[in-house]
Structure 1
Amino acid sequence: MNILFRYGEFHNLTFAFPTQKYQYLYPEYFSAENVYGFSSRKQQKINIMCHHMRFSLSEVEKVMPSDTFYFTILRNPVSLMESSFAYNRKATHSLQSAESIEDFLNNTTTFYNIKDDDSAYAKNLMTFDLGFNHNGPTSLKHFKLLYHGVDTMFDLVLIAEYFDESLVLLKDALCWTFDDVLSFPLNIRSNASRHVLSVKTQERIKIWNQLDWQLYVYFNNSFWNHVERFGRERMKNEVEELRKRRAQLSERCLDDQVEPDQLKDKSMVPYQPYSITILGYNLKPGLDKHDQLLCHRLVIPEIPYNDLLWDKQIGKDNVTT
């Protein structure tokens, strides 16, 4: 999201902001009516739509141009569920009573309620976000319907575990430059906020999130087929170049990565979920005007960056909650 925010800001592009500013009435399906300023009678030129949503292609097509490039990113369901449990357990009905992720998996019939509006945080979250039934059947036929549906809707599916390779493919598909896709890791949890999973627990997560797991396996294979077409040697060289530029930029911009109470600029404190510590960055002192702007935009958390872009595009007086 930081990459898309920066590209849009630096190229003076127009974003599709949610009427509620941060999300499109999630976990409801996306609706064109959720876009600030949308009117079915007057087509507004939108360049980038990147806020969190439950995807609905027909509704997105009402807002975005016909030549829109659609892409998404998938994450290993094992690490995704560990992360979701840490971030969302206190606010999610199906998770809040479980003492641990192992406790939840051992007692899903007790904890999990299919009727809860927020149940996707506890099962097949990616399937849900992509617009499908996260409690759907787990048969080969339905697996095929799922990943062929995603394949049809999206021009490119990235893989979080191969983020640099994904950025290279995205750069190539959009005819962007290395500078356009440079980024630093954001929303990083402190080590104390992480939970190491046993092999047994990891396997149980795969079974519990079987729709997500089949989706991930299919698109992981598809991803590497894409890399083959791109060229393995070419990919290796471009990933090395991307990492070299990131290291140079890190040396230029970053003083240190710290916990929230150690951030010198308190406006740069990332959102802190209950009982989880999210790290932030201090920038090097004495940056020139150009570097100050670039470095600031690379590390600014999602919410304050969203506010900054909202104010530039829509204005401070037009605020919704």
Structure 2
Amino acid sequence: MKLVLRLLLVLFVFTVVFTCWAALKARLISRPNLVLSAPEHEQGVQSAEGSRESCEPARYVVFLKTHKAGSSTVFNILLRYAAEEGLVLALPQSPTAFQHSTATHFEPNKVLDLSAAGMRPNLVAMHMRFHREALLSLMPNETRFVTIMRQPVDLFRSLYDYYALQRIFGGESLERFVSNEELVGTLRQRRFSGNLGFNQIAFDLGLDPEDFNSTSKSLKRVPRAAQVTELMSMMDSTFHLVMIAERFSESLALLRRLLCLPGYRSVVAFRKNALHNRTTLTAPVAARLAQLNAVDTLLYDHFARKFDQQVAAVGRARVAAEAAHIEALTERWLAHCVETTKGRRVVGHQLRAGMDHDETCHRLALPELEFTKELRWLQTRLARQRTGFFYQ
């Protein structure tokens, strides 16, 4: 008898709990406009969500990940978006490769083929050399094209420091390197690792080094006007947004608008692959680097002006407010997630105790190679489940 009473009591309690839960769920469903409180570290940051026009989130994106221009930080934003929305990242066939070819132009037939599992690429975002037609053969017409540029003098300085090119050139400092015509000529004739050197932006965009310069009557090297103009024209007709590293927060505001990303948290990002220390440039060295990277300077100046026009079209005050909101929210997430920065040469982020279990903190701090590994594992596992085939 006692056992029966206990069972009845348990059944009664279960019924009450279930009824209350169902009633609460019904209330929430009947209030579709209910706004939940932001996490504690986001409270106090004024939202500007109302400034956004209604739009559909982009499902197909090509991001040309340029060298030493803040592209790894943007890459993290796009990988988080892909992970959250179930988008497919175009991956190299080799499981040990973390970029597409950067010495030769992009080749679609070298992308891991998951089509048997009904999975086509939504996002192309790893390092590559841009080839418009090849990418359009892989991606649909509605694809949004984005890249980022950095002031060429600062870019080359960062390139020289990050890849420790002084070791390749006899331990020469950047200042001594640019004044040594023999070493300069060596890098002009043969790019380091087949892809790193002068006019890095133009090279990443697919322009061949032999089209960088011609010799003027004064025997000075000058950019080949026709080739550079053609490249600019191609970019103007292809890229929806060329972000500017020196205006990074504004760039994130425009990126969020272009891709219709959900909420400002989607463009919060922690700096990736940034050096702790940088070489200081004298005015003569900076002038010489500008000369050596003349094609990049033309490209950068053109797209910096175009970027400013895009900001003006949206409204300078509006973009400034959105950029400030992104910066404030980023600081909140840094304080919430990160114990300290780390890394002897490159900035990294050590999470607070227990924060690695917070999915947002984990992904914000995740190094790009580890994030790429995670996405490869998720995508190939899903493809195996659908087809029974083995994918690496």
TM-score w.r.t. length of structure 1: 0.85
Given the alignment, which residue of 317, 322, 341 partners 1:238? 322
* 1:274 aligned partner: none
SS of equivalent to 1:9: helix
* 1:149 aligned partner: 234
* 2:281 aligned partner: 197
| Deviates further, 238-247 or 133-142 | 133-142
Given the alignment, which residue of 74, 80, 87 partners 1:6? 80
* 2:102 aligned partner: 26
CA contact (8 A) 1:112 1:122 kept: no
Given the alignment, which residue of 310, 322, 347 partners 1:279? 347
Structure ID, larger Rg: 2
* 1:96 aligned partner: 169
Q: Distance in 1 between matches of 2:355 and 2:146?
A: 35
Consecutive unaligned residues in structure 1, runs of 5 or more: 261-276
* 1:49 aligned partner: 124
Given the alignment, which residue of 50, 64, 72 partners 2:147? 72
| Deviates further, 59-68 or 295-304 | 59-68
Consecutive unaligned residues in structure 2, runs of 5 or more: 1-74, 214-222, 385-389
Quote how far apart the aligned CAs of 1:121 are. 1.8
Q: Distance in 1 between matches of 2:332 and 2:144?
A: 30
CA contact (8 A) 1:27 1:117 kept: no
CA contact (8 A) 1:46 1:65 kept: no
| Deviates further, 130-139 or 161-170 | 130-139
Question: 1:124-158 deviations in whole A, cap 9, x for unaligned?
Answer: 01100001123423144444223222212211111
Structure 1 segment 144-223 matched on structure 2, within 5 A: 144-176=229-261, 177-191=263-277, 194-223=278-307
Would you say 1:126 and 2:201 are equivalent positions?
A: yes
Would you say 1:106 and 2:179 are equivalent positions?
A: yes
CA contact (8 A) 1:18 1:51 kept: no
Letter in 2 for 1:22: F
CA contact (8 A) 2:92 2:100 kept: yes
CA contact (8 A) 2:102 2:204 kept: no
Quote how far apart the aligned CAs of 1:77 are. 0.6
Structure 1 segment 235-314 matched on structure 2, within 5 A: 235-259=319-343, 277-287=345-355, 289=357, 292-314=358-380
CA contact (8 A) 1:253 1:283 kept: yes
Structure 1 residues 96 and 246: CA distance shift in structure 2, 3 A: same
Q: Percent identity?
A: 29
Q: Distance in 1 between matches of 2:391 and 2:356?
A: 33
Letter in 2 for 1:16: A
Structure 1 residues 144 and 232: CA distance shift in structure 2, 3 A: same
CA contact (8 A) 1:88 1:121 kept: no
TM-score w.r.t. length of structure 2: 0.70
Question: 1:177-228 deviations in whole A, cap 9, x for unaligned?
Answer: 211111111112122xx21111111111111000001100111111101110
Quote how far apart the aligned CAs of 1:10 are. 0.9
Q: Distance in 1 between matches of 2:163 and 2:208?
A: 20
